[in-house]
Amino acid sequence: MTSTSKPITPLRQRMIDDMRMRKLSPKTQASYIRVVKRFAGFLGRSPDTASVEDLRRYQLHLVDHGISPISLNATLTGLKFLFETTLDRPELLTKMHPVHVPHKLPVVLSREEVARLIAAVDNLKHQTALSVAYGAGLRASEVVSLKVGDIDSQRMTLRIEQGKGSKDRYAMLSPVLLERLRAWWKFAHAQGKMLQGGWLFPGLDPIDPLSTRQLNRAIHAAAEAARIDKRVSMHTLRHSFATHLLEQKVDIRVIQVLLGHKKLETTALYAQVATDILREVVSPLETLQPV
Protein backbone atom coordinates (compact mmCIF):
# COMPACT_ATOMS: atom_id res chain seq x y z
CA MET A 1 0.00 0.00 0.00
CA THR A 2 1.44 3.36 -1.04
CA SER A 3 1.38 6.23 1.47
CA THR A 4 -0.19 9.48 0.23
CA SER A 5 1.47 11.68 2.86
CA LYS A 6 4.13 14.04 1.59
CA PRO A 7 7.63 13.79 3.06
CA ILE A 8 8.76 16.69 5.24
CA THR A 9 11.03 19.06 3.34
CA PRO A 10 14.50 19.80 4.74
CA LEU A 11 13.43 23.43 5.35
CA ARG A 12 10.39 22.45 7.39
CA GLN A 13 12.41 19.89 9.35
CA ARG A 14 15.05 22.50 10.15
CA MET A 15 12.37 24.93 11.33
CA ILE A 16 10.78 22.22 13.47
CA ASP A 17 14.18 21.43 14.98
CA ASP A 18 14.78 25.14 15.68
CA MET A 19 11.44 25.39 17.47
CA ARG A 20 12.12 22.23 19.47
CA MET A 21 15.54 23.56 20.49
CA ARG A 22 13.82 26.64 21.92
CA LYS A 23 11.13 24.51 23.58
CA LEU A 24 8.27 26.37 21.93
CA SER A 25 4.88 24.96 22.89
CA PRO A 26 3.23 22.47 20.50
CA LYS A 27 0.49 25.04 19.86
CA THR A 28 3.04 27.71 18.89
CA GLN A 29 4.94 25.26 16.68
CA ALA A 30 1.77 24.27 14.85
CA SER A 31 0.86 27.93 14.39
CA TYR A 32 4.26 28.85 12.93
CA ILE A 33 4.20 25.89 10.52
CA ARG A 34 0.70 26.87 9.41
CA VAL A 35 1.85 30.47 8.78
CA VAL A 36 4.79 29.36 6.65
CA LYS A 37 2.67 26.85 4.73
CA ARG A 38 0.18 29.59 3.79
CA PHE A 39 2.99 31.90 2.71
CA ALA A 40 4.44 29.14 0.54
CA GLY A 41 1.03 28.65 -1.03
CA PHE A 42 0.84 32.36 -1.85
CA LEU A 43 4.39 32.36 -3.19
CA GLY A 44 4.03 29.22 -5.26
CA ARG A 45 7.53 28.05 -4.41
CA SER A 46 9.76 27.37 -1.40
CA PRO A 47 9.71 30.21 1.18
CA ASP A 48 13.52 30.28 1.30
CA THR A 49 13.50 31.79 -2.20
CA ALA A 50 11.38 34.79 -1.12
CA SER A 51 12.54 38.35 -1.62
CA VAL A 52 11.84 41.53 0.34
CA GLU A 53 9.25 42.45 -2.28
CA ASP A 54 7.56 39.02 -2.01
CA LEU A 55 7.08 39.48 1.70
CA ARG A 56 5.79 43.02 1.24
CA ARG A 57 3.29 41.80 -1.37
CA TYR A 58 2.14 39.09 1.01
CA GLN A 59 1.37 41.55 3.80
CA LEU A 60 -0.62 43.70 1.34
CA HIS A 61 -2.42 40.55 0.17
CA LEU A 62 -3.42 39.70 3.76
CA VAL A 63 -4.62 43.25 4.47
CA ASP A 64 -6.64 43.37 1.24
CA HIS A 65 -8.35 40.12 2.19
CA GLY A 66 -9.52 41.49 5.54
CA ILE A 67 -7.18 39.76 8.00
CA SER A 68 -7.62 41.01 11.57
CA PRO A 69 -4.78 42.95 13.25
CA ILE A 70 -4.21 40.13 15.75
CA SER A 71 -4.01 37.48 13.01
CA LEU A 72 -1.75 39.68 10.90
CA ASN A 73 0.69 40.19 13.76
CA ALA A 74 0.64 36.46 14.52
CA THR A 75 1.48 35.78 10.86
CA LEU A 76 4.40 38.20 11.00
CA THR A 77 5.67 36.51 14.16
CA GLY A 78 5.70 33.11 12.44
CA LEU A 79 7.47 34.47 9.37
CA LYS A 80 9.93 36.32 11.58
CA PHE A 81 10.92 33.03 13.20
CA LEU A 82 11.48 31.42 9.80
CA PHE A 83 13.58 34.21 8.31
CA GLU A 84 15.46 35.35 11.42
CA THR A 85 16.06 32.04 13.18
CA THR A 86 15.89 29.24 10.64
CA LEU A 87 17.18 31.03 7.52
CA ASP A 88 19.31 33.67 9.29
CA ARG A 89 18.09 36.31 6.85
CA PRO A 90 16.46 39.04 8.97
CA GLU A 91 17.06 41.65 6.25
CA LEU A 92 14.18 40.17 4.24
CA LEU A 93 11.68 41.45 6.81
CA THR A 94 12.53 45.15 6.46
CA LYS A 95 9.29 45.92 4.56
CA MET A 96 6.99 44.00 6.90
CA HIS A 97 5.53 45.87 9.86
CA PRO A 98 3.28 44.80 12.73
CA VAL A 99 0.07 46.79 13.04
CA HIS A 100 -1.64 48.44 15.98
CA VAL A 101 -4.30 46.29 17.64
CA PRO A 102 -7.34 48.38 18.65
CA HIS A 103 -7.93 48.47 22.40
CA LYS A 104 -11.24 46.87 23.33
CA LEU A 105 -12.77 46.38 26.75
CA PRO A 106 -13.53 42.75 27.63
CA VAL A 107 -17.10 41.47 27.73
CA VAL A 108 -18.16 40.90 31.34
CA LEU A 109 -21.25 39.10 32.62
CA SER A 110 -23.17 40.13 35.70
CA ARG A 111 -23.33 37.66 38.59
CA GLU A 112 -26.92 36.88 37.67
CA GLU A 113 -25.92 36.18 34.06
CA VAL A 114 -23.09 33.85 35.18
CA ALA A 115 -25.54 31.93 37.38
CA ARG A 116 -28.02 31.60 34.47
CA LEU A 117 -25.26 30.56 32.08
CA ILE A 118 -23.89 27.78 34.27
CA ALA A 119 -27.37 26.56 35.19
CA ALA A 120 -28.25 26.31 31.48
CA VAL A 121 -25.57 23.63 30.88
CA ASP A 122 -27.26 20.21 30.93
CA ASN A 123 -24.02 18.19 30.93
CA LEU A 124 -22.48 17.82 34.41
CA LYS A 125 -18.91 17.63 33.10
CA HIS A 126 -19.28 20.82 31.07
CA GLN A 127 -21.19 22.54 33.86
CA THR A 128 -18.43 21.75 36.36
CA ALA A 129 -15.73 22.84 33.91
CA LEU A 130 -17.48 26.21 33.43
CA SER A 131 -17.77 26.53 37.21
CA VAL A 132 -14.01 26.04 37.48
CA ALA A 133 -13.33 28.64 34.78
CA TYR A 134 -15.42 31.23 36.62
CA GLY A 135 -14.79 30.13 40.21
CA ALA A 136 -10.98 30.11 39.84
CA GLY A 137 -10.51 32.50 36.92
CA LEU A 138 -8.82 29.93 34.69
CA ARG A 139 -8.21 29.96 30.96
CA ALA A 140 -9.95 27.24 28.95
CA SER A 141 -6.59 25.56 28.27
CA GLU A 142 -5.88 25.52 32.02
CA VAL A 143 -9.27 23.99 32.82
CA VAL A 144 -8.85 21.05 30.42
CA SER A 145 -5.26 20.48 31.61
CA LEU A 146 -6.30 19.91 35.23
CA LYS A 147 -5.75 16.48 36.75
CA VAL A 148 -7.44 14.99 39.79
CA GLY A 149 -4.21 15.34 41.76
CA ASP A 150 -4.17 19.11 41.16
CA ILE A 151 -7.01 19.56 43.65
CA ASP A 152 -5.71 20.31 47.15
CA SER A 153 -8.70 20.35 49.51
CA GLN A 154 -6.44 20.92 52.54
CA ARG A 155 -4.91 24.14 51.25
CA MET A 156 -8.00 24.94 49.14
CA THR A 157 -6.00 25.48 45.97
CA LEU A 158 -5.85 24.25 42.39
CA ARG A 159 -2.40 23.62 40.98
CA ILE A 160 -1.98 25.04 37.48
CA GLU A 161 0.94 23.40 35.71
CA GLN A 162 2.62 25.24 32.86
CA GLY A 163 -0.03 27.87 32.27
CA LYS A 164 0.47 30.72 29.83
CA GLY A 165 4.14 31.63 29.59
CA SER A 166 5.08 28.12 30.79
CA LYS A 167 4.52 29.12 34.42
CA ASP A 168 3.17 27.10 37.33
CA ARG A 169 0.89 28.78 39.84
CA TYR A 170 -1.86 28.11 42.36
CA ALA A 171 -5.45 29.19 41.84
CA MET A 172 -8.11 29.62 44.49
CA LEU A 173 -10.49 26.80 45.38
CA SER A 174 -13.65 27.99 47.08
CA PRO A 175 -15.84 25.70 49.26
CA VAL A 176 -18.70 25.88 46.72
CA LEU A 177 -16.38 24.95 43.86
CA LEU A 178 -14.90 22.09 45.89
CA GLU A 179 -18.38 20.66 46.46
CA ARG A 180 -19.14 20.86 42.74
CA LEU A 181 -15.87 19.11 41.93
CA ARG A 182 -16.64 16.35 44.44
CA ALA A 183 -20.09 15.85 42.92
CA TRP A 184 -18.54 15.57 39.45
CA TRP A 185 -15.81 13.20 40.71
CA LYS A 186 -18.39 10.86 42.27
CA PHE A 187 -20.54 10.88 39.14
CA ALA A 188 -17.59 10.32 36.78
CA HIS A 189 -16.21 7.46 38.88
CA ALA A 190 -19.62 5.79 39.09
CA GLN A 191 -19.84 5.97 35.30
CA GLY A 192 -16.26 4.75 34.83
CA LYS A 193 -15.35 7.96 32.99
CA MET A 194 -12.37 9.04 35.08
CA LEU A 195 -9.04 7.25 35.44
CA GLN A 196 -7.23 7.06 38.74
CA GLY A 197 -5.02 10.16 38.90
CA GLY A 198 -6.09 11.06 35.36
CA TRP A 199 -7.66 14.11 33.77
CA LEU A 200 -10.21 15.97 35.87
CA PHE A 201 -12.28 16.50 32.72
CA PRO A 202 -11.56 13.56 30.42
CA GLY A 203 -12.66 13.42 26.80
CA LEU A 204 -14.70 10.61 25.23
CA ASP A 205 -11.61 8.46 25.68
CA PRO A 206 -10.52 8.94 29.34
CA ILE A 207 -6.89 8.83 28.23
CA ASP A 208 -7.36 12.21 26.54
CA PRO A 209 -8.51 15.45 28.15
CA LEU A 210 -11.62 17.35 27.15
CA SER A 211 -10.79 19.76 24.32
CA THR A 212 -11.10 23.53 24.51
CA ARG A 213 -13.21 23.36 21.34
CA GLN A 214 -15.77 21.21 23.15
CA LEU A 215 -15.86 23.69 26.02
CA ASN A 216 -16.38 26.59 23.66
CA ARG A 217 -19.26 24.78 21.98
CA ALA A 218 -20.77 24.10 25.41
CA ILE A 219 -20.60 27.72 26.55
CA HIS A 220 -22.05 29.04 23.28
CA ALA A 221 -24.97 26.62 23.60
CA ALA A 222 -25.46 27.62 27.25
CA ALA A 223 -25.44 31.33 26.42
CA GLU A 224 -28.12 30.74 23.81
CA ALA A 225 -30.21 28.64 26.19
CA ALA A 226 -29.85 31.28 28.93
CA ARG A 227 -30.82 34.00 26.42
CA ILE A 228 -27.66 36.00 27.01
CA ASP A 229 -27.16 38.24 24.00
CA LYS A 230 -23.59 39.28 24.84
CA ARG A 231 -20.72 37.75 22.88
CA VAL A 232 -19.72 34.99 25.30
CA SER A 233 -16.64 32.75 25.26
CA MET A 234 -14.74 30.76 27.87
CA HIS A 235 -12.49 33.76 28.45
CA THR A 236 -15.60 35.80 29.35
CA LEU A 237 -15.82 33.77 32.56
CA ARG A 238 -12.21 34.66 33.41
CA HIS A 239 -12.92 38.34 32.73
CA SER A 240 -16.04 38.16 34.90
CA PHE A 241 -14.14 36.45 37.74
CA ALA A 242 -11.55 39.24 37.86
CA THR A 243 -14.12 42.04 37.57
CA HIS A 244 -16.35 40.62 40.30
CA LEU A 245 -13.37 40.23 42.67
CA LEU A 246 -12.41 43.84 42.03
CA GLU A 247 -15.97 44.93 42.81
CA GLN A 248 -15.71 42.95 46.07
CA LYS A 249 -12.75 45.19 47.01
CA VAL A 250 -10.14 42.43 46.60
CA ASP A 251 -6.70 44.02 46.23
CA ILE A 252 -5.78 44.24 42.56
CA ARG A 253 -2.34 42.75 43.27
CA VAL A 254 -4.01 39.66 44.70
CA ILE A 255 -6.14 39.38 41.56
CA GLN A 256 -2.98 39.71 39.47
CA VAL A 257 -1.47 36.69 41.24
CA LEU A 258 -4.67 34.64 40.93
CA LEU A 259 -4.86 35.31 37.19
CA GLY A 260 -1.16 34.69 36.64
CA HIS A 261 -0.63 38.07 35.00
CA LYS A 262 2.98 39.14 34.55
CA LYS A 263 2.16 42.85 34.53
CA LEU A 264 -0.16 44.73 36.90
CA GLU A 265 -1.24 46.92 33.97
CA THR A 266 -2.95 43.89 32.42
CA THR A 267 -5.03 43.30 35.55
CA ALA A 268 -5.79 47.02 35.93
CA LEU A 269 -7.86 46.82 32.76
CA TYR A 270 -10.71 45.35 34.81
CA ALA A 271 -11.07 48.60 36.73
CA GLN A 272 -12.58 50.02 33.54
CA VAL A 273 -15.39 47.47 33.47
CA ALA A 274 -16.09 47.14 37.21
CA THR A 275 -19.43 48.98 37.14
CA ASP A 276 -20.08 48.57 40.88
CA ILE A 277 -16.94 50.62 41.53
CA LEU A 278 -18.03 53.26 39.02
CA ARG A 279 -21.39 53.59 40.76
CA GLU A 280 -19.68 54.30 44.07
CA VAL A 281 -17.77 57.26 42.66
CA VAL A 282 -19.44 60.60 43.34
CA SER A 283 -19.45 62.91 40.36
CA PRO A 284 -18.04 66.40 41.06
CA LEU A 285 -21.32 67.68 39.67
CA GLU A 286 -23.02 66.38 42.80
CA THR A 287 -20.79 68.50 45.02
CA LEU A 288 -21.49 71.84 43.34
CA GLN A 289 -23.17 74.42 45.51
CA PRO A 290 -26.13 76.30 44.02
CA VAL A 291 -25.35 79.92 43.12
Q: Which of 12, 125, 126, 261 is catalytic?
A: 261
Is 38 a known active-site residue? no
The distance of Cα 210 from the centroid of its chain, to the nearest Å, equals: 15
One of 3.40.710.10, 3.30.365.10, 1.10.150.130, 3.30.450.40 is the CATH number of 10-93, namely 1.10.150.130
Residue ranges covered by each domain of the chain: 10-93, 111-278
- Per-residue confidence band for 2, with pLDDT thresholds at 50, 70 and 90: very low
pLDDT of the residue at 54: 95
- Residue 179's alpha-carbon distances to 155, 182, 271, in angstroms, are 15, 5, 30
Helix (H, G, I), strand (E, B) or coil at 245: helix
- Residue 185's alpha-carbon distances to 139, 151, 159, 247, in angstroms, are 21, 11, 17, 32
Q: What is the mean pLDDT of residues 148-168?
A: 83
Is 164 a known active-site residue? yes
Is 169 a known active-site residue? no
pLDDT of the residue at 192: 83
Residues 6+ apart with CB under 8 A from 193: 125, 202, 206
**Which one-letter amino acid corresponds to residue 159?**
R
Is 235 a known active-site residue? yes
Q: What is the mean pLDDT of the chain?
A: 89
Alpha-carbon span 17 to 33, nearest angstrom: 12
Is 80 a known active-site residue? no
pLDDT tens digits along 216-238: 999 999 999 999 999 999 999 99
Instruction: Indicate if the pLDDT at residue 3 is higher than 90.
Output: no
Reply yes or no on domain 111-278 having CATH 1.10.443.10: yes
Q: Which of 126, 169, 238, 239 is catalytic?
A: 238
- In sign, the C-alpha dihedral spanning 11, 72, 237, 270 is positive
Minimal CA–CA distance to 158: which of 241, 67, 70? 241
